[in-house]
Amino acid sequence: MNVSANVENGVTHAEPKIVAQKVQVYYGDKHAIKDVDIKIQPRSVTAFIGPSGCGKSTFLRTLNRMNDTIDICRVEGDILIDGENIYDPKVDPVQLRAKVGMVFQKPNPFPKSIYENVAYGPRIHGLTRNKAELDEVVSASLQKAGLWNEVKDRLDGPGTGLSGGQQQRLCIARAIAVSPEVILMDEPCSALDPIATAKVEELIDELRANFTIVIVTHSMQQAARVSQRTAFFHLGNLVEEGATQDIFTNPQDKRTQDYITGRFG
Ligand SMILES: Nc1ncnc2c1ncn2[C@@H]1O[C@H](COP(=O)(O)OP(=O)(O)OP(=O)(O)O)[C@@H](O)[C@H]1O
């Protein structure tokens, strides 16, 4: 954890957890992210919003090098997490993705038991020494994901047998189990009904006490409900970023204003 902070006008500013500088992303010749600079605060929720195709998911994926898995994708610029450039050749992307976990649009539990879904990461990363420790990590992760009471009597049952909302919370438990510092969420509620969505949003609000969360969402209401900071993207540009309340009530750029008032998107 980065503990340094400074105080300005009585407001405490923590050191940013993530600093992106002059980030460009290309898919072949297509310039999908253009010169993006952003600082992401620790232990808070930052929402990425903007019209379809503006580059929200592409930029999100630069934060744990998920774009490395796309052949035609090229990333330029620097992304520092706790001051370390994650694109440095000495960074192991597998370790990076344990530190910067990800939850996807569609819940994607492994075709294994609920227990195994959560135990898999700690096991392959060698985080526990014995079965008792692994059991403890599995139960703690399910508790943090708000799923323990619903599944504690059926840990051997298949993860895919849960409801969609429970599956998404299982995927969040799986991400938490390897003790990440950052959790990236790419439209985590888009496949869920309103009740399951509300539960996941409540969970996101609880998780920000311990994790830095970045969420891509199509729902401005969701961004307003769950995030403290909001970044608006348009045609590959980061148009503006600020306190969520300011972005929604007093946007500085006409494009942001047009988007939040429903004039395009
Ligand atoms: N794998 C890919 N190969 C080629 N082009 C891609 C790929 N993924 C995304 N793009 C293009 O990059 C641009 C940004 O896409 P991206 O999915 O990041 O936008 P988005 O804002 O997340 O959109 P949506 O809200 O619709 O999910 C789009 O023009 C898209 O067509």
- Our answer on whether the CB atom of 200 is closer than 6 Å to any ligand 1 atom is no
CB atoms within 10 A of CB 29: 6
Domain-located, residue 89:
yes
Q: What is the DSSP string of 142-206?
A: HHHTT-HHHHTT-TTSBGGGS-HHHHHHHHHHHHHTT--SEEEEESTTTTS-HHHHHHHHHHHHH
pLDDT at residue 238 in the model? 98
- pLDDT-derived band at 10, boundaries 50, 70, 90: very low
pLDDT surpasses 50 at 9: no
The enclosing domain of 142 has a CATH number of 3.40.50.300
Domain-located, residue 6:
no
More confident residue, 161 or 3: 161
pLDDT at residue 263 in the model? 83
113: domain range? 12-260
- pLDDT-derived band at 2, boundaries 50, 70, 90: very low
Domain-located, residue 141:
yes
- Our answer on whether the CB atom of 66 is closer than 6 Å to any ligand 1 atom is no
Domain-located, residue 155:
yes
Per-state percent for the chain, helix, strand, coil, to nearest 5: 35, 30, 35
Residue with CA at minimum distance from ligand 1 atom 12: 32
pLDDT at residue 7 in the model? 52
Domain-located, residue 4:
no
**105 alpha carbon – ligand 1 mean position (Å):** 14
Domain-located, residue 265:
no
Domain-located, residue 5:
no
- Our answer on whether the CB atom of 60 is closer than 6 Å to any ligand 1 atom is no
pLDDT surpasses 70 at 152: yes
At 166, give phi and psi (nearest 5°). Answer: -65, -40
Q: How many domains does the chain have?
A: 1
Mean pLDDT of the chain: 93
pLDDT surpasses 70 at 21: yes
- pLDDT tens for 70-103 read 999 999 999 999 999 999 999 999 999 999 999 9
Best residue for ligand 1 mutational test, from 26, 31, 57 (most atoms within 8 Å of Cβ): 57
**215 alpha carbon – ligand 1 mean position (Å):** 16
**138 alpha carbon – ligand 1 mean position (Å):** 35
More confident residue, 264 or 127: 127
Structure ipTM: 0.97
Average pLDDT over residues 191-214: 94
**66 alpha carbon – ligand 1 mean position (Å):** 13
- pLDDT-derived band at 3, boundaries 50, 70, 90: very low
pLDDT surpasses 90 at 265: no
pLDDT at residue 13 in the model? 63
Beta-carbon contacts of residue 142 (< 8 Å; ≥ 6 apart): 114, 118, 148, 151, 152, 170, 173
Q: Positive or negative CA dihedral for 118, 123, 125, 127?
A: positive
**58 alpha carbon – ligand 1 mean position (Å):** 6
- Our answer on whether the CB atom of 5 is closer than 6 Å to any ligand 1 atom is no
pTM of the full predicted structure?
0.93
**259 alpha carbon – ligand 1 mean position (Å):** 18
